[in-house]
Amino acid sequence: DTDTPYTAFVAGIGSGKTYAGCVRALNASLGRIGNRTIPTPNLGVITAPTYPMLRDATLRTFQDVAQPYIKSLNRSGMVITMNNGSEILLRTADNPDRLRGPNVSWWYGDEAAMYGNDVWRIMIGRLRQFGQRGSAWLTTTPRGRNWIYQLFVNDDDNYELVRAASSDNVYLDRAIIDAWET
């Protein structure tokens, strides 16, 4: 985990990106980002490109990771309430203007290369809960030199790019990797 305010984990399928993003979201909801303590209860946002992706992948992974810490999931409002009172808004990025409004401590964007770069600008503007700059992290499969590449491949200490190959996931059966490579 990193203390860098903005992080992108760009890696191949099956590399554990969503899992890593969800672990970081859980830690943030509990008051820890990297080595930094943040106030709790806090408000965070998890986004995915579409509702089916949010429901079928990101939310399922978060529930697997965080189950003992989840107090409730309101599916109609798409809000998770944690045992410590922190809340997580589950939203899609398919209509970026709907992301405007809340003051949040953190944001996790899954499969972010499928977002328009306006999502980044809107969400960075939300990172202001408690009058403090919040943190954002993205996970995504590579999609060329898009807006994520342009933003994260620089010498700015506020941005960190982490890369991995599918084969770097030691928990993935080697037969799966071999099948992908044929």
Is the four-CA dihedral 91, 75, 24, 53 of positive or negative sign?
A: negative
Residue-level pLDDT, tens digit, the chain, 182 residues: 678 999 999 998 888 999 999 999 999 999 999 899 999 999 999 999 999 999 999 999 999 999 999 999 999 999 999 999 999 999 999 999 999 999 999 999 999 999 998 999 999 999 999 999 999 999 999 887 899 999 998 888 999 999 987 777 677 677 877 787 76
Sequence-distant (6+) residues with CB within 8 A of 99 are 45, 47, 91, 93, 119, 122, 123, 126
Sequence-distant (6+) residues with CB within 8 A of 128 are 103, 104, 134
Neighbours of 174 (CB within 10 A): 9
Single-letter amino acid code for the residue at 96 = P
Q: Which two tokens stand for residue 96?
A: 């970026």
Instruction: Write out the H or E segment, with its range, that includes residue 7.
Output: strand 6-11
Neighbours of 30 (CB within 10 A): 19
DSSP state of 56: I
Instruction: Check residue 182 and give its pLDDT.
Output: 66
Instruction: Check residue 13 and give its pLDDT.
Output: 85
Nearest-angstrom CA–CA distance, 46 and 107: 6
Instruction: Check residue 180 and give its pLDDT.
Output: 73
Instruction: Check residue 1 and give its pLDDT.
Output: 67
Partners of 32 in beta bridges: 37
Nearest-angstrom CA–CA distance, 21 and 17: 6
Instruction: Check residue 37 and give its pLDDT.
Output: 94
Using the structure block, give the residue that is written with the tokens 């899609």: 92
Using the structure block, give the residue that is written with the tokens 């990025």: 93
